């Protein structure tokens, strides 16, 4: 069977085990033909002390022209860290020009964690993201992003009730299936999935550690499984297990990402 062809649009951080350097190997590993639209080249991701940033917006219009000339279309889209508001309108243009009517648009909003916006983001960016997710088929914000998107105060001490309230509020912004990631309670961690008015948790035992880049790994595996025909719940479960395996494979002093490479040969 011909593999599905996805376009993933996010930054290329040269060092840091995140964004494209994660999405490309993982989507490919799970049998998806993976095309990339790099939005910017960074020396490393923004959790390091400093970084260079070269924006590729101008290049994107040229890229689109050549894709159109060659009649290129995609079976699905995965958006991760975009970094600039102007890239969101290019993303919408990309869906319209290079998607097919049933090509799923999966949007990981990627702008906050632990109640704080990542460096370089502001509430204007968040507001544009609330508009962009209206175009999605699946969104997978973490709790912090869900709070920002719905104007809800963040607390690290949240409960199921808050997670469910966030899902309901998000469902007023988008018809997409909603996957709230990194939901923790009773020593477990997982996702709250809110789809077609129904909610379900997919939980696994929590590994007592925190690493950067796990969100990007989660969305890559979830997307690959979903495009490969699994249900959203199964896709989240596989993604959660994969992230847990990656975390177990990562030494505690590895500060900038997880060692997912050692897990690529496991199903």
Q: Which residues contribute to the site for ligand PXL (CB under 6 A)? A: 11, 13, 18-19, 42, 45-47, 81, 110, 118, 212-213, 215-216
**Nearer residue to ligand PXL within complex by CB, 25 or 228:** 25
**Nearer residue to ligand PXL within complex by CB, 90 or 162:** 90
Find the shortest distance in angstroms from Cβ 45 to ligand PXL.
4
Report DSSP state, residue 138.
Answer: E
Q: Looking only at Cα atoms, what is the longest distance across the chain?
A: 54
Find the shortest distance in angstroms from Cβ 12 to ligand PXL.
9
Selection from 2, 73, 22 nearest residue 223 by Cα = 22
* Full DSSP string of 220-246: HHHHHHHHTT--HHHHHHHHHHHHHHH
**Nearer residue to ligand PXL within complex by CB, 49 or 66:** 49
User: Rounded to an integer, what distance in angstroms lies between the CA atom of residue 213 and that of residue 29?
Assistant: 18
User: Rounded to an integer, what distance in angstroms lies between the CA atom of residue 191 and that of residue 236?
Assistant: 7
**Nearer residue to ligand PXL within complex by CB, 75 or 80:** 80
Instruction: Find the distance separating the first CA and the last CA of the chain, reported in whole Å.
Output: 19
How many separate helices (H) and strands (E) can be counted in the chain? 8, 11
Find the shortest distance in angstroms from Cβ 254 to ligand PXL.
15
**Nearer residue to ligand PXL within complex by CB, 19 or 235:** 19
Find the shortest distance in angstroms from Cβ 68 to ligand PXL.
28
Find the shortest distance in angstroms from Cβ 169 to ligand PXL.
23
User: On the CB side of 163, how many CA atoms lie within 13 Å of its CA?
Assistant: 26
């Amino acid at each position: 069977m011909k593999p599905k062809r996805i376009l993933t649009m996010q930054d290329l951080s040269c060092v840091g085990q995140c964004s494209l350097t994660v999405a490309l190997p993982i989507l490919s590993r799970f049998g998806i033909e993976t095309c990339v639209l790099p939005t910017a080249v960074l020396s490393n991701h923004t959790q390091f002390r400093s970084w260079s940033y070269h924006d590729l917006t101008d290049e994107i219009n040229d890229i689109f022209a050549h894709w159109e000339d060659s009649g290129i279309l995609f079976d699905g889209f995965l958006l991760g860290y975009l970094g600039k508001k102007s890239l969101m309108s290019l993303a919408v243009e990309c869906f319209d020009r290079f998607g097919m009517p049933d090509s799923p648009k999966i949007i990981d909003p990627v702008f906050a964690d632990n109640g704080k916006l990542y460096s370089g983001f502001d509430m204007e960016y968040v507001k544009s993201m609330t508009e962009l997710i209206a175009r999605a088929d699946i969104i997978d914000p973490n709790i912090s992003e869900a709070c920002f998107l719905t104007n809800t105060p963040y607390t690290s001490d949240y409960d199921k009730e808050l997670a469910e309230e966030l899902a309901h509020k998000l469902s007023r912004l988008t018809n997409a299936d909603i996957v709230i990631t990194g939901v923790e309670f009773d020593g477990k961690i997982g996702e709250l999935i809110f789809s077609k008015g129904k909610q379900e948790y997919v939980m696994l035992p929590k590994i007592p550690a925190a690493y950067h880049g796990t969100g990007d790994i989660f969305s890559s595996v979830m997307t690959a499984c979903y495009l490969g025909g699994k249900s959203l719940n199964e896709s989240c479960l596989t993604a959660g297990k994969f992230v847990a395996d990656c975390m177990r494979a990562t030494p505690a002093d590895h500060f900038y990402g997880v060692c997912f490479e050692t897990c690529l040969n496991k199903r």
